Structure 1
Amino acid sequence: MELEEFERDNSQSRLLSSPVPEICRTEDCCLGIDEAGRGPVLGPMVYGICYCPVARKKDLQDSKVADSKTLSEADRERLFEKLNGSSDYIGWALHILSPNVISTSMQQRAKYNLNALSHDTAIGLIQFALDAGVQLTEVFVDTVGPAEKYQEKLKKIFPELDVTVRPKADSLFPVVSAASICAKVARDRVVKDWKFVEDLGELDADYGSGYPNDPKTKEWLSRHLDPVFGYPQFVRFSWSTAQTILDNKATPVAWGDEDDDSAGGKSSTPSVLSFFSAPKDVSQPQSHRFFQERHLQPLLEF
């Protein structure tokens, strides 16, 4: 599992995959889909697929794959290496969704929630397998939202496939269990080796489970809040837990518009633009590190 490209720039999502086994190009195959890291306020969400010939489902089951949430980290790592070592008949692919991409997607002007993002990612991975030459006939998916509606949606997009969407599919179908292991191993590795591009001083990586209801996670969020720029990209700032801390502890700013000042005076609350203006003695304005870290470019000159 080569994660170096994502680790070099974790502000962007990445797709990585194993080679497609030759047998999967000629024999009917089944494919499972699952995710890891949907709920945490910290780190990426990872969607994974795993596929193998329908005729070798029993071999996959005999490898003792199971829902990744029921396995220890050591067992997940061992099983992933076993899956990866069975490249003669098993293939996999992963889509690592950066927390930066998750947050900006959910906060864009047009409504785009986490369920829609999850559905689109799963659809993209199915299409990726088809485009790679996998002879898919069966797809098994751990549901996001109502299972019947999700299944109907996938069948309309892929009418040639036999699609099954179920709650807890990772405990029902070995091929989904295998996908859940791939996704969970990738997320654990990425979170453990996360490269913070922001200057956080003496970084404390003891952030607990990363889930919003974890007191240790909440305390870490409060401690690593920049009063103007908010959180490092490790944080999903669209989550309500992060938003609440921002509302209570961040510097209040207003998007300045003098035309809206009915009193004729200027507000004591600074315009957010004032934080980004260049010093008067600088001939060429320099982009603040906040924008450099997030690969943001100005749309107009101030």
Structure 2
Amino acid sequence: MLGADEAGKGPVLGPMVAAAVRADPGAIPDAVDDSKRLSSGRREELDAALRGDDRVAVGVAVVSVERIDDPATDMNALTVAGQAEALARVAADGDRAVVDAGDVDEDRFARRVADAVADGGRDGDAGNEGGVAVDVTAEHGADESYPVVAAASVIAKVERDRIVAELDATYRDRGYDGVGSGYPSDPTTRAFLREYVDREGDVPGCARRSWSTCDDVLAAAEQSALGEF
């Protein structure tokens, strides 16, 4: 049984991370749940338990800011690609996977993920070597209904949090007060973007330039109104 989910579709800073877990249901800790319902400490404990169990295989795919900003793609396609890349790292022919649907049409999302895994893990890249045939079911809220999908959501969230923590440390070393969670609604993230643009005249490399938040902070800088951003 496989499950896949992603974390970080909406932030303005940092990548999106997808994860897949392949395990017998009995190997999933009883305490596993949708990552949003768990404290950061509990997520880290479960992440360590899953990764440290020989009965559990974990695959992770990091969808970079550069890929997110590519005008030739969109978040639906990138969610398919991320989940498929993660699944392809642990799947075997004939496996059954349940994934958290990233499209209003669950069946369409499932087909796209299955096709991408069969093509080696990248949505739309037919002909890649190493693909496997996986039976995929997609459901909205699958991380609330299937422990193996909840486990994948935990892995994805912990990995993205680790990446954001590294970004935070990097920018603190450069004299900033941290980057926050990376979400546009986070006051710390917005303050970081204001200060960075004020200093450098552009958004940082970790920012999703195609997000409207970046347009807003650059427009505010041009109007000398960063304090109102």
TM-score (norm 1): 0.62
Contact 2:63 2:78 in 1 (8 A): no
AA aligned to 1:115 is: N
Identity %: 33
Q: d(CA) in 2 for partners of 1:34 and 1:47?
A: 6
- Match 2:48 to one of 70, 77, 81: 81
- Aligned equivalent of 1:175: 148
Look up the equivalent residue of 1:216 and give its one-letter code.
T
Q: What is the identity, as a one-letter code, of the residue corresponding to 2:78? A: L
SS at match of 2:90: helix
Q: Partner of 2:73 in structure 1?
A: 112
CA distance in 2, matches of 1:224, 1:246: 10
Residues 142-169 of structure 1: CA deviation (Å, up to 9, x unaligned): 1111212212333455594321100111
2:38 equivalent to 1:66 = no
Residue pairs, 1:203-242, within 5 angstroms: 203-205=176-178, 207-225=179-197, 230-242=202-214
Q: For residue 136 of structure 2, what is the amino acid of its counterpart? A: V
* SS of equivalent residue, structure 1 residue 76: helix
Shift of 1:196: 7.5
1:283 alignment counterpart: none
Q: Distance in 2 between the 1:164 and 1:119 partners? A: 13
SS of 1:83's equivalent in the other structure is helix
2:98: which partner in 1? 140
Paired with 1:57 and 1:153, the residues of 2 have a C-alpha distance of 25
Q: For 1:1-302, what aligned pairs fall within 5 Å after superposition?
A: 30-52=1-23, 56-60=24-28, 62-87=29-54, 89-103=55-69, 105=70, 108=71, 111-130=72-91, 134-146=92-104, 147-156=106-115, 158=118, 160-194=133-167, 201-205=174-178, 207-225=179-197, 230-250=202-222
- The answer (yes or no) to whether the contact 2:19–2:87 under 8 Å persists in 1 is no
Q: In structure 1, what residue type is equivalent to 2:162?
A: R
Alpha-carbon distance between aligned partners in 2 of 1:198 and 1:65, rounded to the nearest angstrom = 33
Report what 2:126 is aligned to.
none
1:227, 1:250 within 8 Å by CA — same for their partners in 2? no
Report the residue type matching 1:38 in the other structure: K
| Distance change >3 Å, CA 163–CA 101, structure 1 → 2 | closer
5+ residue gaps, structure 1, are 1-29, 252-302
Unaligned residue ranges in structure 2 (runs of 5+): 119-131, 224-229
Question: Secondary structure at the residue paired with 1:225?
Answer: helix
- TM-align CA RMSD: 2.6
Deviation at 1:114, TM superposition (A): 1.4
Q: Distance in 1 between matches of 2:58 and 2:89?
A: 11
Query: d(CA) in 2 for partners of 1:248 and 1:195?
Result: 23
Distance 1:75 1:196, change over 3 A: closer
Give distance in 2, aligned partners of 1:201 and 1:175: 40
**AA partner of residue 100 (structure 2):** D
Task: Please tell me whether the aligned partners of residues 107 and 137 of structure 2 are also in contact (alpha carbons under 8 angstroms).
Answer: no
Q: 2-side partners of 1:135 and 1:95: how far apart?
A: 20
Residue type of the partner of 1:176? V
**1:200-235 alpha-carbon deviations (Å, 9 max, x no partner):** 952221x44322123332232112115775111122
Gap change, CA 1:238 and 1:201, over 3 Å in 2 = same
Distance 1:149 1:76 in 2: 30
In structure 2, what is the Cα distance between the partners aligned to 1:141 and 1:231? Answer: 34
Q: Does the Cα contact within 8 Å between 2:100 and 2:143 map onto a contact in 1?
A: yes
Determine the C-alpha separation between the residues in 2 that align with 1:66 and 1:199: 32
The one-letter code of the counterpart of 2:65 is P
Change (3 A) 1:189 1:228: closer
